[in-house]
Amino acid sequence: MKILIIGSGGREHALAWKISQSPLVKKLYAAPGNPGIAQVAECLPIAANEIGKIKEFALSEKIDLTVVGPEQPLVSGIVDEFRKAGLKIFGPTKAAAELEGSKVFTRELLKRFGISSPSFKVVASLDEAMKYLTKVSMPIVLKADGLASGKGVTVCEHKDIALDVVTRIMKDKIFGDSGNKVVIEEFLSGQEVSVLSLTDGKTIAVLEPARDYKRLMDDNKGPNTGGMGAYSPVKFVTPKMMDKIVGEIIVPTVHAMHSSSRPYQGVLYAGLMVSPAGIKVLEYNVRFGDPETQPLMMRLKSDIVPLLMAVVEQKLDRIKPIEWHNEPAVCVVMTSKGYPASPRTGDEITGQLANRPTGQTKDFQVFHAGTALKDEKVVTSGGRVLGITARAKDFASARQKAYDAVKQISFDGAFYRTDIAKNI
Ligand code: AMP
Ligand code: GLY
């Protein structure tokens, strides 16, 4: 088979790494990929949002399966375009991708189908937002309706902050049209978990739970980021709790999408809060999580290619149960100077591990996220630079293995959390 992966982050490197191990794969391409992905795939000079060019390439190369990493091409309708051209592609249609593309759509859908969520109010003008915010008690969570590169959510402790944030979203348009509507929702406390499922719209194959670290600094301090690290499995998610999550949240959501004429095919990522008031949906994403995918791919024992293909061909019911390594996996993300506000790029990355696959094994990988080649040197090219991922007999050993490697990689301004998978 010829497979094409779209995207250039750590998630795509982890997917490419796993896919490249399948005996079914003859040739793997990435658009655009990164220097890490180039270790296992041929990288093409086509950006992830150049849907027309990607489709042309897939047609001319007779690609058997395209796997979409990031949300933007999904929300823009890449799956619909590929299907029209008779090409196989893993991911939801534009209509189904609304689950991530519109927070208003998702909140209203979950409410209509009685799926456990925080209470919320949708506002469509600054005036309406101001009026509501003056009477509601804090803390509160503000969410721009549309995509905002992971920056659209703010937890507000005080009213003046909420008023300031909503003004920037709705008047100053910091997220453009994504801020035409805003969801103001109840703040939930508890423990977060990411539950990803593969579904062909009829059958659901739930993956092992994972957890990511959203805040920049140790002890969950500092601003929200795309994710500073992740691990799997998650001990507090008992089999009983997992049954509840699947039975009361995942299955009803897939049904809700079906009854709303937006049948869902692809990976469905539920961001959940296990709160004293129960398990509630914080968000849905319509793609694999980043960095959750890094530990998940390292723990996945089954060949991923038949799974992805079964989703696309709606044959998931014929697939054997997914097999996992029992050993836990931990991913520590190294970020560039200035992340997340204004990441600096162009810093040279040194250390054998970062540049060559030396020392990398099936249970230890340096996944590239924001890296580029410049004058034959690997340099930083984004906020999240590398995701050092290790699997071992227990969490302490996996942590040790990942952090030992982190210490052997350097670049100016490198930063990482020191508490990923600590005390869990
Ligand atoms: P989202 O993109 O909707 O998942 O939001 C990003 C992050 O904001 C989540 O992972 C949570 O840490 C936090 N968050 C979102 N919604 C809520 C909520 N209702 N209560 C508390 N924290 C939230
Ligand atoms: N790790 C959070 C996300 O993928 O959205």
How many angstroms does the Cα of residue 147 sit away from the middle of ligand 1? Answer: 14
Using one digit for the tens of pLDDT, what is the confidence trace for 248-296? 999 999 999 999 999 999 999 999 999 998 999 999 999 999 999 999 9
Report the residue among 153, 156, 178, 281 best suited for mutation to probe ligand 1: largest number of ligand atoms under 8 A from its CB. 153
Give CA separation, 319 vs 38, 144, 297, 323, in Å. 30, 38, 18, 11
Nearest residue to 205 (alpha-carbon basis) of 117, 308, 328, 297:
308
Instruction: Say whether pLDDT at 359 is over 70.
Output: no
Instruction: Say whether pLDDT at 110 is over 60.
Output: yes
Average pLDDT over residues 28-42: 96
Phi and psi (nearest 5°) for 260? -95, 15
Please state, in angstroms and rounded to a whole number, the distance separating the CA atoms of residues 127 and 160: 15
Using one digit for the tens of pLDDT, what is the confidence trace for 291-338? 999 999 999 999 999 999 999 999 999 999 999 999 999 999 999 999
Please state, in angstroms and rounded to a whole number, the distance separating the CA atoms of residues 167 and 132: 13
Give residue ranges with CB within 6 A of ligand 2: 212, 227, 285, 289-290, 292
Please state, in angstroms and rounded to a whole number, the distance separating the CA atoms of residues 299 and 296: 5
Average pLDDT over residues 201-209: 98
Nearest atom in ligand 2 to 289's CA: 4
Nearest atom in ligand 1 to 118's CA: 19
Report yes or no: 102 and 178 within 8 Å, Cβ to Cβ.
no
Residues of the chain with pLDDT > 90: what percent? 95
Instruction: pLDDT band for 357, please (50, 70, 90 cuts).
Output: low
Report yes or no: 368 and 409 within 8 Å, Cβ to Cβ.
no
Instruction: pLDDT band for 361, please (50, 70, 90 cuts).
Output: confident
How many angstroms does the Cα of residue 55 sit away from the middle of ligand 1? Answer: 34
* Residue 271 CB–ligand 1 contact under 6 Å: yes
Longest dimension (CA), the chain: 61
* Residue 190 CB–ligand 1 contact under 6 Å: no
Using one digit for the tens of pLDDT, what is the confidence trace for 338-350? 999 999 999 999 9
How many angstroms does the Cα of residue 13 sit away from the middle of ligand 1? Answer: 26
Instruction: Say whether pLDDT at 57 is over 90.
Output: yes
Q: Which residue's CA is the nearest one to ligand 1's atom 3?
A: 283
Instruction: pLDDT band for 355, please (50, 70, 90 cuts).
Output: low
Q: What six digits make up the tokens of 255?
A: 């049904």
Using one digit for the tens of pLDDT, what is the confidence trace for 114-165? 999 999 999 999 999 999 999 999 999 999 999 998 889 999 999 999 999 9
Q: What six digits make up the tokens of 307?
A: 């799974």
Give CA separation, 2 vs 23, 42, 100, in Å. 12, 11, 29
- The string over 196-215, giving b where at least 16 C-beta atoms fall within 10 Å of a residue's C-beta and e elsewhere, is bbbbbbebbbbbbbbbbbbe
Instruction: pLDDT band for 351, please (50, 70, 90 cuts).
Output: confident
**HEC sequence for 62-102:** CCCEEEECCHHHHHCCHHHHHHHCCCCEECCCCCCCHHHHC
Residues 6+ apart with CB under 8 A from 17: 40, 297, 365, 367
| DSSP sequence for 230-293 | EEE--TTS-HHHHHHHIIIIIHHHHHHHHHTT----EEEEEEEEEETTEEEEEEEESS--TTTH
Give the pLDDT of residue 354.
Answer: 64
How many angstroms does the Cα of residue 285 sit away from the middle of ligand 1? Answer: 12
Angle made by CA atoms 123, 285, 371, in degrees to the nearest 5 = 115
DSSP alpha helix (H) spans, 266-385: 293-299, 304-312, 352-355
* Residue 248 CB–ligand 1 contact under 6 Å: no
Q: What six digits make up the tokens of 374?
A: 């410049």
Q: Which residue's CA is the nearest one to ligand 1's atom 4?
A: 283
Instruction: Please give the distance of CA 113 from its chain centroid, rounded to a whole number.
Output: 25
Give CA separation, 97 vs 65, 93, 172, in Å. 19, 6, 27
Per DSSP bridges, beta strands 229-232 and 211-212 are: antiparallel
Please state, in angstroms and rounded to a whole number, the distance separating the CA atoms of residues 14 and 388: 11
Average pLDDT over residues 411-417: 97
Using one digit for the tens of pLDDT, what is the confidence trace for 85-109? 999 999 999 999 999 999 999 999 9
Q: pTM of the prediction?
A: 0.97
Instruction: Say whether pLDDT at 360 is over 80.
Output: no
How many angstroms does the Cα of residue 282 sit away from the middle of ligand 1? Answer: 6
- Provide the 3-class DSSP secondary structure of residue 149: coil
* Residue 292 CB–ligand 1 contact under 6 Å: no
